[in-house]
Amino acid sequence: MAEFFIELFSEEIPSGMQAGAAVELGNMLAKALSGLNPRDLRTFFGARRIAASLTVDAEIPARNVSERGPREGAPEKALAGFTRKHGVTPDELTLENGFWVLNKSLDPVSAESRVAEAVPELLWKFPWPKSMRWGAGSNFTWVRPLRRIACLLDGHVVPFALAREGDDAHGLKASNLSEGHRFLAPGPFEILSGQQWQEELETRSVIVDMDSRRDMVRTGVTRLADQHGIMVVQDDGLVDEVCGLVEYPVPLLGKIDAAFMDLPAEVMQVSMRINQRYFALRNPDGKAAPYFAFVGNLPFKDGGKLTTAGNERVLRARFADARHFWDLDRKTKLADRVPALAAVTFHAELGTQAERAERISKLAGTVAQAMGLDGAQIAQAERAGLLAKADLTTGMVGEFPELQGVMGGYYAVHDGEDEAVSRAVAEHYLPRGQSDDTAKAPVSVAVALADRLDLLAGFFAIGELPSGSGDPYALRRAALGIIRTIRDNGLRLDLSELFAQAANGRTGGELAKLPDFIAERLRVQLRSEGERHDVLAATLAGGLDGDLVRLLARTSALSEMIQTEDGRNLLAAAKRAANILRIEDKKDGPHTGAPDPALYTQDEERALATGLDQAVPAIETALKEERFTDAMQAIAALRPTLDRFFEAVTVNTPEPEVRANRLKLLSRFRETTALIADFGQIEG
Amino acid sequence: MSATRPLCFQDLILRLHQFWSEKGCAILQPYDTELGAGTLSPHTTLRALGPKPWAAAYVQPCRRPSDGRYGENPNRLQHYYQYQVLLKPTPEDSQQLLLDSYRAIGIDPELHDIRFVEDDWENPTIGAWGLGWEVWCDGMEVSQFTYFQQVGGIPTVMPSTELTYGLERLAMYVQGVENVYDLDFNGKGLTYGDVFLRAEQDYSRHNFELADTQMLLTHFNDAERESMRLAEAGVAQPAYDQCLKASHLFNLLDARGVISVSERASYIGRVRELAKDACEAWLAGEEETSHG
């Protein structure tokens, strides 16, 4: 048993790549050293290094392996090729089960020689998302120049070099050296073990454990906020990013100049986060606090006074820029910006943003009408649809695209647009992601749906569908946005009709696939909520019901029904009937049409026929009136009748007319279940 | 440096010249045509190609017509200076050299927060890209650090380190000034505004209101034709000059707002073709001289 340790010390690694690279390093090592039974994997990462430690066996033990060669009687050439490949003579082969086989006994391999062989190979092919060349001509690439490789087994250097065939690989070779903080502890130190490395780094001002860095940032920022009675806007992504930029996190607090506190809070936060990686803070009343938190890379000699002043100055310049856009943008009304959208291409085949604005406006009116909104609201939806994209031409959105909509909302308020219109301009991008809320205000909902309907119909009409992992126009997200907005608001809409409106006279392309696309997103969404996707598949079998609310109500009623004992048995009976029909229909089917009561020979047949005659109208009425549970009960009530039928009646009786009539009866039962769903899709 | 008084603008340049001269760089003078960035100078673009070592430093005036703000914005200029260093091949201690140069102009990394923040640099008009960082000092980007991987669409056989300092920003930082026009230019009472304010006002009018777009268009086409003809003839730098002119003319047309979004890509593509041809012509000449 031995401790294996490796550190790859480089120039600064992009923050977002560090964690993935550490995982990759661990996986590759586990695979490359699999013969040594690797275990206790730990990985580390930071601004200038990735590292891993493992426990491994001292050696790969001696073992026998056999390699199967060509078939007995294969051409000479094949046999010669096999022996040459393994460097043996034909008389070293044996015949086993008709094949030539080479049985080799392999000597034990020490951990040291396995590591020395495997690690350079692994480093040459390490899959950084983007890597680079440097120096005078080596083709060894890394994410940024690799400066040191430390590689140890129980504290001893595993000797290897990266050089190979005429490439010196920058002269890189394994050592037992590492480096501490760039400014506080420059120069190398000796590593004895993984444990000692981590401790020594800490004394050299490098916190190499990510969780510890996160903790220092979180608690540090919170403590500073507490001192001023304010709160940090939680942002885990920012914490992680910052922790990849610093080796020794030192949270500090800066002041925001009062002259900028009237900027929209979103503008301040985006500017701070995107440009500066600063944390935003809030007063207890939820309003922006006149402070920001940032994380320095070392405990400064002056306690951070100079750097805080510097960061405050940078932020003033940033906010001065933002103020410039804020003031300038408000000089032109959003409505007056709409014509300028004609210069912004949306997509070569789908026209400009101006054309899109027209389409969204019209469609928003249609949706509003379908939602049953009043005339004033319909007009508001049309107005908001027209203005929704106008903020794309503002300086602020040009600078911060993530403020699309938010800025439009502010500018609409400034222009004196109706409250509902301004709100819809701001909210029509909702939901922006899985965890984001959907729009709730009726006019906002109409515009949010119109925006996505136009997007989907447009791209489906020109055949630009998402493929596998590629979804450049975020059509899946748009579909999900529609589904979530409809569900959250319980909207009774006919999506098929709205798709037709959104197609705007266009036909062809892949438009016909749109309902299936929505159905698929719905399936994915329900599955992620832990719902049974097979039950949905059963209710979807007849095609997507454009009224998602109705579809889901039917699905959940079915879901409940098949969990009852009657439901489970009914399901089994339906499957049994379907099986019999499938087999018998192949012989001389189909067996459709009304059964002839004169041909019933047993009471159980008559009882089933009567049951069905009563159930069908009851189910149809219940479905029409959307009393789905009643519909389910009506069919589940057939269960005892069915049980008795299957117990007492032999469908495949020798008399052909009676048999055909019984099959017709089963067929009628199947048609009845089909009113509810395709039971064949339901598992179990 | 004297601890009491921060460097004036011109002393900052002199200090950097001194520093990089001591590190073995040729100290060159600004290139004599309009450039959008120090990278575009043939001292960088052409020299980054091919197998010959190179080390040079120079100040380059840069023109970005659409950044004009009529002298009213404290941080934005349509004409400003970059300090540009190209080191080929990439020295082992590239980062340390940059940090030492900061010390030389009075920035102490133990008092200030110096950070190397990921930046994948790309200049589509000359078909160039590289990996490196924005270098931050107390949250402000003060330099661009790039390991060139490709120039003119051609992979760099010997990668170089490119360091670009934004001189006005750096000076504002060192002097603690919030408005670029207030910068102490010479330590004797002359400000940056005294030298450049009038030009910023006039050029902003020129760039946004007055430049004759029909003429610019004609000039663009002429420069394009001439560049292709010269590259064909194998005179790389004259061909590249015309490519630079075309690039600046495009920037002016863009500032005048006469280039639509869809046309933009096509103009950039045309300039990139010229850059590629000039770079290939340069490389062909380099190979001849290294064999002859």
- Interface test with chain B among A314, A328, A392, by most B beta carbons within 10 Å: A314
pLDDT band at residue A684 using 50, 70 and 90 as cut-offs: low
Q: Which residue of B has its CA nearest to A276?
A: B139
Give the C-alpha separation, A559 to A95, whole Å: 61
User: b/e string for B19-54 if b means 16 or more Cβ within 10 A?
Assistant: bbeeeebeeeebbebbbbbbbbbbbbbbbbbbeeeb
Mean pLDDT of A42-48: 97
- Which residue from A134, A314, A321 is facing B90, i.e. has the nearest CB? A134
The yes-or-no verdict on residue B3 having pLDDT over 60 is no
Give the C-alpha separation, B171 to B105, whole Å: 9
SS3 A188: strand
For residues A551 and A492, the answer to whether their CB atoms sit within 8 Å is: no
SS3 A95: strand
Matching residue, tokens 């805080």: A308
Mean pLDDT of B99-127: 92
Interface touch B178/A313, C-beta < 8 Å = yes
Interface touch B138/A15, C-beta < 8 Å = no
The correct answer on CATH 3.40.50.720 for the domain covering B211-291 is no
Interface touch B75/A317, C-beta < 8 Å = yes
Any CB–CB contact under 8 A between B130 and chain A? yes
Reported as a single tens digit per residue, the pLDDT across A51-60 is: 999 999 999 9
Q: Strand pairing of B26-28 and A345-347?
A: unpaired
Q: Which residue of B has its CA nearest to A310?
A: B138
The Cα of A307 is separated from the nearest Cα of chain B by a number of Å equal to 5
Interface touch A132/B149, C-beta < 8 Å = yes
B contacts of A133 (beta carbons < 8 Å): 147, 149, 156, 159
The pTM assigned to this predicted structure is 0.80
Task: Quote the pLDDT of residue A467.
Answer: 83
Mean pLDDT of A130-159: 96
Mean pLDDT of B106-135: 92
Residue A236, both tokens: 């885990």
Interface touch A298/B113, C-beta < 8 Å = yes
The Cα of B132 is separated from the nearest Cα of chain A by a number of Å equal to 7
Any CB–CB contact under 8 A between B3 and chain A? no
Kindly compute the dihedral angle of the four CA atoms of residues A565, A567, A571, A573, in this order, to the nearest 10 degrees.
70
- Helix (H) or strand (E) run with residue B56 in it: strand B54-63
Look up the CATH number of domain A2-59+111-203: 3.30.70
Kindly compute the dihedral angle of the four CA atoms of residues A470, A473, A477, A482, in this order, to the nearest 10 degrees.
-140
Residue A307, both tokens: 């750097």
Reported as a single tens digit per residue, the pLDDT across A386-398 is: 999 999 989 899 8
- Which residue from A132, A133, A307 is facing B112, i.e. has the nearest CB? A307
The yes-or-no verdict on residue B182 having pLDDT over 80 is yes
Give the C-alpha separation, A214 to A255, whole Å: 23
User: b/e string for A398-411 if b means 16 or more Cβ within 10 A?
Assistant: ebbeebbbbbbbbb
The yes-or-no verdict on residue B212 having pLDDT over 90 is yes
pLDDT band at residue A45 using 50, 70 and 90 as cut-offs: very high
Residue A605, both tokens: 């047949």
B contacts of A12 (beta carbons < 8 Å): 116-118, 133
Mean pLDDT of A25-40: 96
Reported as a single tens digit per residue, the pLDDT across A583-599 is: 988 888 788 888 999 99
Mean pLDDT of A209-220: 97
Residue numbers of B between 76 and 105 with CB closer than 8 Å to A: 76, 89-90, 92, 94-95
DSSP B143: E
Average pLDDT, chain A: 92
Q: Which residue of A has its CA nearest to B111?
A: A300
Give, in words, the CATH class of A562-681. mainly alpha
A contacts of B137 (beta carbons < 8 Å): 310
Task: Quote the pLDDT of residue A413.
Answer: 97
Cα angle for residues A627, A633, A637 (degrees, 5° grid): 150
Mean pLDDT of A522-542: 83
CB atoms within 10 A of CB A477: 18
Task: Quote the pLDDT of residue A235.
Answer: 92
Any CB–CB contact under 8 A between B178 and chain A? yes
pLDDT band at residue A409 using 50, 70 and 90 as cut-offs: very high
Reported as a single tens digit per residue, the pLDDT across A305-320 is: 999 999 999 999 889 8
- Helix (H) or strand (E) run with residue A560 in it: helix A548-561
The yes-or-no verdict on residue B262 having pLDDT over 70 is no
- As a residue count, chain A comes to 684
- Helix (H) or strand (E) run with residue A326 in it: helix A305-329
Look up the CATH number of domain A348-547: 1.10.3210
Mean pLDDT of A508-533: 86
Give the C-alpha separation, B162 to B151, whole Å: 12
Domain ranges of chain B: 9-207, 211-291
The Cα of B87 is separated from the nearest Cα of chain A by a number of Å equal to 10
Domain ranges of chain A: 2-59+111-203, 68-106, 210-329, 348-547, 562-681
- Which residue from B111, B139, B147 is facing A134, i.e. has the nearest CB? B147
Interface touch A144/B147, C-beta < 8 Å = yes
Q: Is cis: bond before A431, omega within 30 of 0? A: yes
Task: Quote the pLDDT of residue A445.
Answer: 97
Mean pLDDT of A436-458: 95
Higher pLDDT, B127 or A542: B127
Residue A71, both tokens: 């078939």
The yes-or-no verdict on residue A32 having pLDDT over 90 is yes
- As a residue count, chain B comes to 292
Any CB–CB contact under 8 A between B209 and chain A? no
The yes-or-no verdict on residue B2 having pLDDT over 50 is no
The domains spanning A348-547 and A562-681 adopt the same CATH topology: no
Matching residue, tokens 């200029």: B77
The yes-or-no verdict on residue A93 having pLDDT over 90 is no
Task: Quote the pLDDT of residue A385.
Answer: 97
pLDDT band at residue B291 using 50, 70 and 90 as cut-offs: low
The yes-or-no verdict on residue B290 having pLDDT over 80 is no
Residue A590, both tokens: 């189909």
The percentage of residues in chain A with a pLDDT greater than 70, rounded to a whole number, is: 100
End-to-end CA distance of chain A: 50
Reported as a single tens digit per residue, the pLDDT across A548-583 is: 888 888 888 888 888 888 888 888 888 888 889 889
Interface touch B147/A145, C-beta < 8 Å = yes
Task: Quote the pLDDT of residue A457.
Answer: 94
For residues A486 and A532, the answer to whether their CB atoms sit within 8 Å is: no
Topology, domain B9-207? BirA Bifunctional Protein; domain 2 (3.30.930)
Q: Strand pairing of B161-166 and B140-151?
A: antiparallel
Here the ipTM equals 0.93
Q: Strand pairing of B54-63 and B26-28?
A: parallel
Task: Quote the pLDDT of residue B261.
Answer: 64
* Weakest mean pLDDT among A330-339, A464-473, B174-183: A464-473
DSSP A257: P
Any CB–CB contact under 8 A between B116 and chain A? yes
- Which residue from B111, B261, B262 is facing A302, i.e. has the nearest CB? B111
- Which residue from B73, B89, B262 is facing A135, i.e. has the nearest CB? B89
pLDDT band at residue A546 using 50, 70 and 90 as cut-offs: confident
